[in-house]
Amino acid sequence: MDLGLRDKVAVIMGGTSGVGLKAAEMFLQEGAKVAVCGRNQERLDKACNHLLQFGSADRIYAGTCNVTNKQDVDAFMNGTAGALGGIDILVNAAGHSVMGYFFDITDEQWQEQIQLKYFAVIYAIRAAHPYLVKQGGGRIININATLAKEPERHMVATAATRAGLLNLSKTLSQELAPDNILVNSVSLGLIRTDQWERRRLQNAPNVEPDMYYGDLAKKRNIPLGRVGEPEEVASVILFLASRQASYVSGSTIETAGALGKAL
Ligand SMILES: NC(=O)c1ccc[n+]([C@@H]2O[C@H](COP(=O)([O-])OP(=O)(O)OC[C@H]3O[C@@H](n4cnc5c(N)ncnc54)[C@H](OP(=O)(O)O)[C@@H]3O)[C@@H](O)[C@H]2O)c1
């Protein structure tokens, strides 16, 4: 099926690892151009080398950028538009979660989650908006988590800020509709990415990955019986960016193996 992504420019905030990197790879395979960013230069270089298997250098733009820093975000977005000839799709995938109960989470951790889940998205959308308008419209895809609707006490700061982002995404789908910009969310459960690999290496370095993730799926009662893979999220991102999703806005697609119970 032709997704209509040929020569579209997809900007992926946090595209050097996990679902962001997989989405970048799949956008290139569909003939799109991609921009990826992250804070760490080494990871960025590695990601670029990986992406060169799927598209030529003139179709890839990469830059170090801390998504919580407005100047960084503006510079990255302007650099992308200059190098790739505009912006059609924005994917907000940068971030990580924080484990901790209410009385354990420090002010700094709250601030960090608020910066990541609100301001990073606000900065990116403000910076991309003029370019999306110039193209006659576009797509914004915010990566979220089932936690947004189903808070868990041990992840209080991430859950609360995720809920706010889901609410913001809905408002923006209405606010930006006159500009023909469609705004949607992808709500993740447990996906096997570097974020989880870091936890595995920290907590159970000697356990075989397949066994670790199998146990994790059992412990978390994931109805499909396994954790998800990055390409299973990236496929949903590409669908939301595709011409087939031209009337989908303000929605959330749960990509969590039936984990969430919220309607
Ligand atoms: N994996 C899951 O099970 C799961 C579940 C629910 C929600 N999510 C969400 O899905 C999104 C992607 O997660 P993932 O699992 O793919 O994580 P990942 O493999 O750790 O990738 C995260 C990406 O974001 C970048 N990043 C993090 N903080 C950043 C910052 N301040 N500025 C710029 N880039 C930043 C990282 O690069 P640098 O570190 O180099 O900056 C990396 O490219 C995150 O928002 C995460 O919270 C994931």
Residue 212: per-residue pLDDT: 96
The torsion angles phi and psi of 229, rounded to 5 degrees, stand at -110, 150
Express as a percent the part of the chain with pLDDT over 90. 98
Does 49 map to a domain?
A: yes
Record the tokens describing residue 108, joined without a space.
């700094």
Residues 6+ apart with CB under 8 A from 94: 13, 14, 20, 37, 38, 67, 116, 120
Which of 66, 74, 97, 188 gets mutated to test ligand 1 (max ligand atoms within 8 A of its CB)?
Answer: 188
Confidence of residue 260 (pLDDT cuts 50, 70, 90): confident
Residues 6+ apart with CB under 8 A from 26: 231, 234, 235, 237, 238
Q: Is the CB of 46 under 6 A from ligand 1?
A: no
Q: Virtual CA dihedral for 172, 177, 179, 181, nearest 10 degrees?
A: 70
For the CA of 188, the closest atom of ligand 1 is: 6
C-alpha separations of 139 from 85, 93, 122, 126, 236 in Å = 16, 14, 15, 13, 13
For ligand 1, atom 32, which residue shows the shortest CA distance?
66
Does 99 map to a domain?
A: yes
Distance 208 CA to ligand 1 centre (A): 23
pTM: 0.98
Q: Is the CB of 158 under 6 A from ligand 1?
A: no
Q: Is the CB of 94 under 6 A from ligand 1?
A: yes
Distance 218 CA to ligand 1 centre (A): 24
Mean pLDDT of 182-201: 95
Per the prediction, the chain carries an average pLDDT of: 97
Q: How many domains does the chain have?
A: 1
The whole domain housing 33 covers: 9-191+229-255
pLDDT in tens, 43-73: 999 999 999 999 999 999 999 999 999 999 9
99 by DSSP, 3-state: which? Answer: coil
Record the tokens describing residue 238, joined without a space.
């590409």
Q: Is the CB of 93 under 6 A from ligand 1?
A: yes
C-alpha distance across the termini of the chain, in Å: 30
**In angstroms, rounded to a whole number, what is the distance separating the alpha carbons of residues 184 and 195?**
23
Q: Virtual CA dihedral for 240, 245, 246, 250, nearest 10 degrees?
A: -60
Q: Give the closest residue to 255 by CA, choosing from 162, 143, 163.
A: 143
Distance 195 CA to ligand 1 centre (A): 7
* pLDDT at residue 213 tops 90: yes
Does 31 map to a domain?
A: yes
**In angstroms, rounded to a whole number, what is the distance separating the alpha carbons of residues 10 and 54?**
14
Residue showing tokens 């509709």: 177
Mean pLDDT of 29-42: 98
CATH number of residue 48's parent domain: 3.40.50.720
For the CA of 198, the closest atom of ligand 1 is: 20
Q: Residue type for 139, please?
A: R
* pLDDT at residue 25 tops 90: yes
Q: Virtual CA dihedral for 115, 148, 141, 252, nearest 10 degrees?
A: -160
Does 17 map to a domain?
A: yes
Residues 6+ apart with CB under 8 A from 19: 93, 143, 188, 191, 193, 230, 233, 234, 237
Distance 94 CA to ligand 1 centre (A): 4
**In angstroms, rounded to a whole number, what is the distance separating the alpha carbons of residues 117 and 148?**
11
Which of 19, 91, 202 gets mutated to test ligand 1 (max ligand atoms within 8 A of its CB)?
Answer: 19
Distance 133 CA to ligand 1 centre (A): 27
Mean pLDDT of 237-248: 98
Does 144 map to a domain?
A: yes
Residue 51: per-residue pLDDT: 98
Residues 6+ apart with CB under 8 A from 191: 18, 19, 227, 228, 229, 230, 232, 233, 255
pLDDT in tens, 81-93: 999 999 999 999 9
Distance 214 CA to ligand 1 centre (A): 22
Does 170 map to a domain?
A: yes
Does 234 map to a domain?
A: yes
pLDDT in tens, 158-184: 999 999 999 999 999 999 999 999 999
Strands 89-92 and 9-13, by their bridges, are parallel
Does 209 map to a domain?
A: no
For the CA of 228, the closest atom of ligand 1 is: 3
